């Protein structure tokens, strides 16, 4: 939506009251023309008003627009496109940004990052994680997003426990358009996207949509991805009403790459993938060709935004999400007992193991109702409302082939379980301008959660949980405007968060976690120059931190850490060196500590004292050098540094095996637009053709961005003694690789 893009760029350039996030998306300032924002656009923004904050709020945040995302949107998943935002670390299982990807903010995992789409919770209700792989090429349907660091403002769904990402999908456009995008690159990666909009018909109706396919062989062996998706919306709008019916869906088939590799393999064969490996009847090591994750997810949303007068407006959102799919595995010499098989006698010999192929299924329904009302005048902007959701999920396993099937029948379930989760939240938040200098912020949320499970887990263990949680999450803050160029802000926020399914499986008595977050910031802007500094103190009680271990499907296992804290300083700037050259650096310096860590070593519990929190580097830095010699050509060099980090909370007390080395990588991005104009005298059917190029890791650095660590007590090697043995897995990332794209706009 061109008017909105230009207006947002102008606002961020001239008023400079939002955090400068353009490091990751390489958009130069000073090149846009101001245009008016229509009533339609303002109503579109109401969809996320309840979960976003404005530029003057005392909440640390970054804003990203569709125009900026387009610069590097050549097939990589949305988390990877956010890699250059402050305090962000991203990773990908397949190594090249396509398939399963992850994002951590201030060391906080995606399980503790709240994600909403048009105000609707997107986090999986049970795992609390976000799986962008289920919505391939979703970045192509994002109008804007806001990343809040820290607790942020009250939002819908699972609590934000260190960060939140709220996404607004495509806005209504006045003019009809069509777009065809194709990109190709390393590892046989290709993306094909078609988008369209009818524009406003009869000044009231619009239909818009997208169809996408992304495929990649992956950097890691056999870590292929086949991602199909669509987005379709129908809108009705008048001066005071916006009604949107939206459906979007994705189907992903990815070859599993979540096992990682050990240290020796990392040094000798860093692209090796152990998934699907088995020994055939000839004694040869082979790989099962369908060791895949196969999942589909359909979303249906209905939004009604109503403005009654200059003071009052309301928003109602309804959602239904249907997810279903499985991952398939070849299992060698599997025990009959695990699958409920009875012993067989084959050629006079007792048979109680078999090679088999299994599928482990998820089949779930998710319903959401959101409602909010907004009142505002010259000094007060208040929003209040609530959200209710219901999740019903089945977990079951099937054996689809077995060398010796015993008494089993087709579609028999060797485990079967069900989960129900109800989530209710109520909130009221307000910004009040006390005088010309001081603005006050308040936010109160009350949240009720009930989680029940029935049946058995995939380990054939009875799993019955019935937990109720009541959380009160207050937030207060103040913004003080020193002058037209400087303002200070301070905020305090409390967050409470329930454990996820995997937490309960590892410990049925695991505690919820609590966070007290203090933020103190300074925003400075003068012309096109801006500098933002923020300090944070995040004090945790029973924080659920990544233990470094994973379960048998790659889910990270977390544990309560008692008291812990994160203290950090975040700096970011936009520095216009010349009208054509801009520097956009950011840096985070932090310390992240468990106050005391207890671990079992050699059969005894020992105190390791104060230790680093896993996956929490003390230094994260990024920079973008953006050069725009002419209006339609932009080149950017993007740099990212991530300091060393530990894979566990024990700080590698046995060895350095649990430590990831620091890394420094650089990407190069170029965009050239060939414009034909859209006037009637033009002979071209195209309005413009955009050529894009991206070279990742231009200096061919071999680095690892993620891994896991585990220990176990071995009492077999030396009878009478117990020795703690350690192990680790690593996820190497791609060396130099490229993507090239062409977008036809008409």
pLDDT at 25: 29
What distance in Å separates the CA atoms of residue 738 and residue 68, rounded to the nearest whole number? Answer: 19
Residue pLDDT, tens place only, 585-600: 999 999 999 988 877 7
Give the three-state DSSP class for 680. coil
The mean-pLDDT minimum among 232-241, 336-345, 713-722 falls in: 713-722
Is-above-0.85 flag for pTM? yes
Instruction: Render the burial of 221-251: b for 16+ CB within 10 Å, e for the rest.
Output: bbbbbbbbbbbebebebeeeebbbbbbbbbb
Closest by CA to 511, choosing from 556, 448, 562, 461, is 562
Residue pLDDT, tens place only, 611-670: 999 999 999 999 999 999 999 999 999 999 999 999 988 887 778 888 999 999 999 999
Confidence check: pLDDT of 15 > 70: no
Confidence check: pLDDT of 161 > 90: no
What distance in Å separates the CA atoms of residue 586 and residue 582, rounded to the nearest whole number? Answer: 13
pLDDT at 724: 78
Residue pLDDT, tens place only, 194-212: 999 999 999 999 999 999 9
The mean-pLDDT minimum among 81-90, 386-395, 494-503 falls in: 494-503
Residue pLDDT, tens place only, 450-494: 999 999 998 889 999 999 999 999 999 999 999 999 999 999 999
The structural domains of the chain, with segments of one domain joined by +, span 2-745
pLDDT at 152: 87
Residue pLDDT, tens place only, 224-255: 999 999 999 999 999 999 999 999 999 999 99
User: What integer best gives the mean pLDDT of the chain?
Assistant: 88
Token output for 358: 């299994």
Pairing of strands 162-169, 113-117: parallel
Tell me 108's DSSP state: B
Confidence check: pLDDT of 26 > 60: no
Residue pLDDT, tens place only, 524-540: 999 999 999 999 999 99
Domain 2-745: homologous superfamily in CATH: TonB-dependent receptor, beta-barrel domain (2.40.170.20)
The upper half-sphere exposure of residue 458, i.e. CA atoms within 13 Å in the direction of its Cβ, equals 19
Provide CB contacts within 8 A for 692, sequence distance 6+: 71, 72, 74, 183, 669, 670, 671, 739, 740, 741, 742, 743
Q: Among all chains, which residue has been given the structure tokens 């019916």? A: 245
Neighbours of 523 (CB within 10 A): 24
Confidence grade of residue 427 (pLDDT, cut at 50, 70, 90): very high
Q: Is 612 exposed, middle or buried (0-12, 13-18, 19+ CB in 10 A)?
A: buried
Closest by CA to 399, choosing from 410, 387, 385, 386, is 410
Closest by CA to 183, choosing from 72, 78, 76, 74, is 74
């Amino acid at each position: 939506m061109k008017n909105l893009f230009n207006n947002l760029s102008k606002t961020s350039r001239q008023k400079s009251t939002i955090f400068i996030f353009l490091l990751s998306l390489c958009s130069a300032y000073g090149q846009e023309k101001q245009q008016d924002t229509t009533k339609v656009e303002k109503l579109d923004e109401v969809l996320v008003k309840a979960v976003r904050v404005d530029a003057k709020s005392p909440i640390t945040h970054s804003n990203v627009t569709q125009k900026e995302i387009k610069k590097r949107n050549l097939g990589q998943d949305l988390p990877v496109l956010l890699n250059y935002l402050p305090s962000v670390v991203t990773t990908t299982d397949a190594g090249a940004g396509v398939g399963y990807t992850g994002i951590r903010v201030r060391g906080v995992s995606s399980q503790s990052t709240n994600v909403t789409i048009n105000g609707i919770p997107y986090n999986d209700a049970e795992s609390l994680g976000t799986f962008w792989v289920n919505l391939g090429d979703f970045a192509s349907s994002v109008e804007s997003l806001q990343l809040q660091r820290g607790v942020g403002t009250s939002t819908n769904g699972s609590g934000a426990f260190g960060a939140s990402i709220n996404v607004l999908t495509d806005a209504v456009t006045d003019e009809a358009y069509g777009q065809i995008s194709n990109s190709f690159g390393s590892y046989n990666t290709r993306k094909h996207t078609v988008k369209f909009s009818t524009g406003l018909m009869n000044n009231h109706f619009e239909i818009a949509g997208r169809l996408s396919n992304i495929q990649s062989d992956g950097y890691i062996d056999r870590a292929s991805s086949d991602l199909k998706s669509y987005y379709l919306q129908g809108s009705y709008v008048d001066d005071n009403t916006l009604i949107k019916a939206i459906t979007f869906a994705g189907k992903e088939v990815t070859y599993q790459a979540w096992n990682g590799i050990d240290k020796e393999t990392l040094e000798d064969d860093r692209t090796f993938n152990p998934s699907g490996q088995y020994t055939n009847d000839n004694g040869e090591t082979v790989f099962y060709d369908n060791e895949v994750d196969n999942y589909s997810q359909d979303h249906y949303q209905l939004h009604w935004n109503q403005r009654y007068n200059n003071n009052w407006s309301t928003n109602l959102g309804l959602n239904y999400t249907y997810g279903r799919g499985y991952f398939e595995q070849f299992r060698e010499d599997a025990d009959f007992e695990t699958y409920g098989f009875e012993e067989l006698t084959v050629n006079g010999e007792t048979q109680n193991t078999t090679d088999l192929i299994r599928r482990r299924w998820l089949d779930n329904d998710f319903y959401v109702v959101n409602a909010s009302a907004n009142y505002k005048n010259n000094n007060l902007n208040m929003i209040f409302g609530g959200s209710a959701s219901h999740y019903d999920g089945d977990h079951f396993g099937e054996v689809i082939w077995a060398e010796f099937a015993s008494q089993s029948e087709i579609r028999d379930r060797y485990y079967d379980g069900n989960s129900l989760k109800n989530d209710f939240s109520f909130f009221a938040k307000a910004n009040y301008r006390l005088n010309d200098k001081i603005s006050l912020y308040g936010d109160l949320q009350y949240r009720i959660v009930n989680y029940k499970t029935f049946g058995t887990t995939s380990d054939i263990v009875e799993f019955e949980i019935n937990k109720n949680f009541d959380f009160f999450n207050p937030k207060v803050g103040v913004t003080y405007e020193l002058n037209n160029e400087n303002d200070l802000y301070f905020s305090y926020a409390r967050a409470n968060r329930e454990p996820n399914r995997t937490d309960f499986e590892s410990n049925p008595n695991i505690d919820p976690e609590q966070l007290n977050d203090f933020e103190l910031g300074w925003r400075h802007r003068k012309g096109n120059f801006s500098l933002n500094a923020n300090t944070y103190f995040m004090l945790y009680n029973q924080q659920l931190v990544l233990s470094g271990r994973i379960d048998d499907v790659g889910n990270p296992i977390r544990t309560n850490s008692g008291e812990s804290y994160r203290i950090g300083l975040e700096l970011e700037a936009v520095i216009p060196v010349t009208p054509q050259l801009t520097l956009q650096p950011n840096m985070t310096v932090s310390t992240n500590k468990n106050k005391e860590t207890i671990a079992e070593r050699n059969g005894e519990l020992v105190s390791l004292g104060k230790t680093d929190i896993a996956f929490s580097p003390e230094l994260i830095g990024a920079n973008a050098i953006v050069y725009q010699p002419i209006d339609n050509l932009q080149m950017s060099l993007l740099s990212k540094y991530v300091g060393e980090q530990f894979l566990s909370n024990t700080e590698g007390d046995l060895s350095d095996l649990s430590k990831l080395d620091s890394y420094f990588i650089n990407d190069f991005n170029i965009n050239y637009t060939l414009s034909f104009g859209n006037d009637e005298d033009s002979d071209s059917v195209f309005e413009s053709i955009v050529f894009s190029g991206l070279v990742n890791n231009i200096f061919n650095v071999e680095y690892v961005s993620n891994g896991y660590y585990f220990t176990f007590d071995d009492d077999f090697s030396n009878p009478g003694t117990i020795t703690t043995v350690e192990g680790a897995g690593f996820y190497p990332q791609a060396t130099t690789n490229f993507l090239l794209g062409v977008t036809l706009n008409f």
